[in-house]
Amino acid sequence: MNNVSKRIVLALIFGCFLLCPCLWGFSLLSLRNLCFFLCLLEIAVSDFFEYKISNKMILAGISIWAISCLCFIFFKAFLEMPCDKIFSENILAHIKDGVLAALIFAFGIYFLSVFLRVLLRKKVLGGGDIKLFFVTGLYLGITKSLYMIFLACALGLIFSLILGRKKKIPFGPSIALATVVVVSCC
């Protein structure tokens, strides 16, 4: 990575630290989203420059989600503390929606990828992208995952027009940016 790229990444990291408390205050949800956004940033940068999404970052995203869910359950059940508004009604329903979305979208995208690979006789989506769809499904749930997929496809098209690459276009940055937008706006 050159100096300009490093400066852009540092600016994005700084933006994550400013964005999360502004949107959600200083809370467990803000901390969870900050960690997840930094994980997405690492995924986007590595996919953009190296065409690789690290399994360690996928596991980090899953771990952040699981630990935050356990913390929300603990705070609500044992300490009787009010949770963040997004989880105040039913934490278990949120977990079920996330797991269901992760499975539906990851397997759906996988089968679509296999179908397009057979049809077009070339690889259209990498395994890291499919795993990233799984992780984002955990955080977003079914409805927000639909928004994210449509936005990621639109961003991928825009990025492909801007980059003008004919062979390989990384889709991880589009998925990551779309996820940040959906988490921040919905």
Q: Cα–Cα distance between 41 and 177 in angstroms, integer?
A: 9
Contact 128, 172 (CB under 8 A): yes
Total residues found in the chain within this entry: 186
Contact 99, 140 (CB under 8 A): no
Dihedral angle, C-alpha 155, 161, 162, 164, nearest 10 °: 130
pTM of structure: 0.85
Please list the pLDDT of the chain residue by residue as tens digits (186 residues).
555 566 666 667 767 666 666 766 677 777 888 889 888 988 998 888 888 999 999 999 999 999 988 888 877 666 555 555 555 567 788 889 999 999 999 999 999 999 988 998 888 888 899 999 999 999 999 999 999 999 999 998 888 888 776 678 889 999 999 999 998 887
Find the distance separating the first CA and the last CA of the chain, reported in whole Å: 33
Domain parsing of the chain, residue ranges: 3-185
